[in-house]
Amino acid sequence: MFKVQKNIIYEDEAILVVYKPAGIATQTARLGQQDMVSELKNYLAKKSEFKEKREPYLGVVHRLDQPVSGILVFAKTKQAAAELGRQITSGKMHKFYYAVIYGRPDVREGRLENFLYKDAKSNLSLIVKEDFPNAQKAVLEYKLVKSLMALEENAEPEEISLIEIKLITGRHHQIRVQMSYRGMPLLGDNKYGSDKSKDLSYEIKCRNVALCAYKLEFFHPISRKKITFERLPEGDIFIPFFTRNF
């Protein structure tokens, strides 16, 4: 059973910073399904500062897809939520990710700029032209960190790579779509992966998207001081990159 207290990285009167494991939703309306918002509200309700018979406030500032792990910041007051929201809109909150992709990028580092359209019916995002209705510009920067050989039973080893990504814009499934479009599909991604990346993911039992929001930088909503939180990915797919002479 998932216990959210163990994943709290930092807490004060204005914010809660937590590490969301892969497989747990940020927020869901599905009955009986755990999610970070519900667990954190239960945690806050049990604290002495919330003895009144009211639901504690928890502002959702940003989200991570259910199969993605990483750091999230939540607001404990409406004022903090508004300030953090302004930082996202103005580009003052910076998000950094580690991703494991199939293969090795042709260029060690680069900047990807595309226009995305979210298809609400299929819950997929598509690369479209700039003049496509409701298209949104998506930008990220990436660099190769390290490549390794993934070993399968009765098969030739295949190369996989750890990529660091700085997210400039926050669009629906942005990293997964853009990286796949440029021939760098993430392992464990059944929605946007290539046939080869899906096959390898199945063979090595990579069941969640190999993507982790490992670092978050923003200005504290009260003190206005710049703060940074960082945590290495916990998924098995990441471990070899951090244990083999990283």
Distance, in Å, from the CA atom of 86 to the CA atom of 81, rounded to the nearest integer, reads: 9
Strand partners, 167: 95, 140
In the block, tokens 């390290």 appear at 146
Distance of CA 162 to the CA centre of its chain: 15
- The answer for 224, left when phi > 0, alpha when psi is -120 to 50, beta otherwise, is left
Catalytic residue among 65, 106, 131, 236: 65
Phi/psi region, residue 23 (left: phi>0; alpha: psi -120 to 50; beta: rest), is left
Task: Assess whether 189 carries a catalytic annotation.
Answer: no
Number of helices followed by number of strands (H, E) in the chain: 5, 11
Task: Let me know: does 232 contact 238? Beta carbons within 8 Å.
Answer: yes
Q: Are the CB atoms for 163 and 185 separated by under 8 Å?
A: no
Catalytic residue numbers read: 65
